[in-house]
Structure 1
Amino acid sequence: MAKLTLQNLQKKYRPDVIPVKDISLEINDGEFLTLLGPSGCGKSTLLRLIAGLEAPTKGQVIIGEKNVNRTPPGDRNMAMVFQSYALYPHMTAAENIATALKLRKMPVDEIKRRVNEAAQKLELTSLLNRKPGQMSGGQRQRVALARALVRDPEVFLLDEPLSNLDALLREQVRAQMKQLFKEQNKPVVYVTHDQTEAMTLSTKVAVLNQGTIQQLDPPSRIYSHPANEFVASFVGSPQMNLLNLSCQENRAILGEYQLALPRFANNPTRIVLGIRPEDVTIASNEAETTIMGRVYLVEQLGKENLVSIKINNSEKTIRALLSREEDWQDKTISLALNPSKIHWFDLETGDRLG
């Protein structure tokens, strides 16, 4: 067992191209850390630095107590699963899984035992004699996972391994992966831009943007208490409502409505209100803060409708997840915003207030 530690890691290609900027992280045994962020945020570069496929400009990669900056990728005892399956097309599934073990000159009986054990865990036993061209995308990705598993590495690294699968296969393989890595009790670093994967698989999520960590927390904390406007907008589907509002006397102005602000150290003149569509509801009593508006768009999502409403006497719009049983189109409705579910962000910095 080995803890993975990153200390002040940076990668600079040119003075103006720095995909990873001074990142420090600690991933313990049994932790599943997801690096989540948009394309170009630095997450794949960070994974390559950990794997040794690129050298850091500064900082350290430490496994256990050992600095592995100068250790070649093949000697770091890490297993990496890529977005592309990277299987040998002329080999069977069993031969692909056993590749790294044969390179280590492991005894034949031990290789067979490990291959069969991994195949059983990933439901590949009946496919071991097939070549990659005879398997589906989901089966090939499970072979790639099994190949990583049999190595018994100190750290697992996964670079968007499910992105080439269709939605149903992604869900199936994701469920298998969650149980599989829980049993391994090793540090796992997983790269994705898919927030569903991040929220369902992870024990911790690092949200990245422009080479820096915006927030590092368990998934539930990322969702319920975003550290800044970027995290609030990136995590959550449908996306959080973010409204740029003016302030007067500790109140935010939304059209003809006024919303009480918490007590902040400095009274802002403008502020960003954030609230998730599921926290915008139909007003049910006079005690709620109500906002009137007219529905101009209804999007059917299955069990609910995503309803877009233009607020009275305002250019602002807000979206709410409402019952699919109602016909909301062109209706004027009264909305309630739960004060405990409202997030406030600084207009200039984007940082969370309060």
Structure 2
Amino acid sequence: MAKLELQNLNKTYTSKIIPVKDVSLTVDDNEFLTLLGPSGCGKSTTLRMIAGLEEPTRGRIFLGDEDITFKQPGDRNMAMVFQSYALYPHMSVYENLASGLKLKKTPRTEIEQRVTEVSKLLGLEELLQRKPGQLSGGQRQRVAVGRALVRRAQVYLLDEPLSNLDALLRERVRADIKQIFAAQKAPVVYVTHDQTEAMTLSTKVAVLNDGLIQQLDPPERIYNQPANLFVAGFVGSPQMNLLTLPCKGRSAILGDANILLPDIPTVPPEIILGIRPENVRIAQPDDRQVIQGQVYLVENLGMHNLVSVRVATAETEPLTIRALLPPEQKWNNEEIRLALPPQNIHWFDVKSGDALK
């Protein structure tokens, strides 16, 4: 049983290059934590500090009750899966799986037992005598995961392990990884910029930007209750509609509609309304708040059309609302009436970008 804890972790290279500014989080047994964010947000640097491949400038890393901040990578009882697979090309699959155990002078009978167990789990029994050059991308990735699993580590670290796979294979291996690590019951830290991987694999997601955690929550809360504009805009495809609207009285003005504001102490001059395209729908006769606009772009996504609608406003340039609508109708250049269900609307402060509760 293990618990990984990061306390105020910071990595500073120069006064202008600070990839990780202040990261604190805890990963317990049975938890799969994903560090999610765009390139340069600090997620891989954080993972490398956990693994011992980088030394933090400030902060502490604990595994259980032990401070491992400055321990060597080989002394941390962690296993890492790299983006590039990092397999030895001259060794067979069996030798690649066993290599880490041999370095630790594990008895031969135990090595055979562990390799046999892991190869059965990952479906590698028929491939044990092949070299990496004779394997497909998905098979190489399973070998890389297997090499981590034979370690029976206290913590597993995965650095964008699916990024080199094509889309179809990525789905298949993603499902395998979810089942495999659910059975291990050890803390897992997974790095990706792919929100689909984060949402489907994780029990918790830490959304990072500019070296700071923007939100740390279960995936459904990240999606349904974004903490700020960055999380709202980064998580979700198609991206959330984010509209800057003028306020009048207790309402925000969008086209001809007055949209009731949340119960906030002071009404600002402007506010940002957020709503996901799948929550925008065609207005019904009994809808009180109806947005009138004109369709100017229709993108066929198969199960849905992504319809972009221009809404005329009195004080600003026309605003665009994107809606996922059924594909039966084309809507090209037509007038359309949309409804924004109040329970699906998110509100954000213009200055801070924080969500208004």
TM range (shorter): over 0.9
Aligned runs of 1:211-230 on 2, under 5 Å? 211-230=211-230
TM-score normalised over the length of structure 1: 0.98
Pair 1:103 & 2:106 matched: no
Whole-angstrom distance in 1 between the partners of 2:129 and 2:46: 36
Gaps of 5+ in 2: none
The corresponding residue for 1:267 is 267
**Number of matched pairs:** 354
The corresponding residue for 1:174 is 174
- More displaced stretch, 287-296 vs 267-276: 287-296
Whole-angstrom distance in 1 between the partners of 2:283 and 2:105: 69
Whole-angstrom distance in 1 between the partners of 2:273 and 2:130: 55
Aligned runs of 1:190-201 on 2, under 5 Å? 190-201=190-201
The corresponding residue for 2:356 is 353
Whole-angstrom distance in 2 between the partners of 1:87 and 1:98: 12
* Aligned with 1:331 (options 306, 331, 334): 334
Alignment root-mean-square deviation, CA: 0.9
* Deviation of 1:292 (Å): 1.0
Structure 1 stretches of 4+ with a deviation exceeding 4 A read none
The corresponding residue for 2:92 is 92
Q: Which amino acid aligns with 2:205?
A: V
The DSSP-based 3-state class of the residue aligned with 1:351 is: coil
Whole-angstrom distance in 2 between the partners of 1:120 and 1:265: 61
* Deviation of 1:13 (Å): 0.7
Q: Which amino acid aligns with 1:103?
A: L
The corresponding residue for 1:290 is 290
Pair 1:7 & 2:10 matched: no
The DSSP-based 3-state class of the residue aligned with 1:139 is: helix
* Deviation of 1:18 (Å): 1.2
Whole-angstrom distance in 2 between the partners of 1:264 and 1:127: 62
Structure 1 residues 110-168: Cα deviation after superposition (integer angstroms, max 9, x where no partner): 11111111111111111111111000111101100000000000000000000000011
Q: Which amino acid aligns with 1:282?
A: I
The DSSP-based 3-state class of the residue aligned with 2:287 is: coil
Structure 1 residues 48-90: Cα deviation after superposition (integer angstroms, max 9, x where no partner): 1101101011110100100011210011010000110100001
The DSSP-based 3-state class of the residue aligned with 2:183 is: helix
Q: Which amino acid aligns with 1:30?
A: N
- More displaced stretch, 142-151 vs 290-299: 290-299
The DSSP-based 3-state class of the residue aligned with 2:130 is: coil
Q: Which amino acid aligns with 2:167?
A: A
The DSSP-based 3-state class of the residue aligned with 1:38 is: coil
Is the Cα contact below 8 Å between 1:288 and 1:337 reproduced in 2? Answer: no
The corresponding residue for 1:155 is 155
The DSSP-based 3-state class of the residue aligned with 2:129 is: coil
The corresponding residue for 2:346 is 343
* Deviation of 1:227 (Å): 0.2
Whole-angstrom distance in 2 between the partners of 1:124 and 1:325: 46
Structure 1 residues 27-67: Cα deviation after superposition (integer angstroms, max 9, x where no partner): 00010000000000000000011011010111101001000
Q: Which amino acid aligns with 1:160?
A: E
Aligned runs of 1:305-324 on 2, under 5 Å? 305-313=305-313, 315-324=318-327
Whole-angstrom distance in 2 between the partners of 1:229 and 1:260: 20
Q: Which amino acid aligns with 2:146?
A: A
Is the Cα contact below 8 Å between 2:228 and 2:353 reproduced in 1? Answer: yes
Q: Which amino acid aligns with 1:45?
A: T
Whole-angstrom distance in 2 between the partners of 1:51 and 1:86: 16
Whole-angstrom distance in 2 between the partners of 1:260 and 1:145: 51
Whole-angstrom distance in 2 between the partners of 1:306 and 1:183: 39
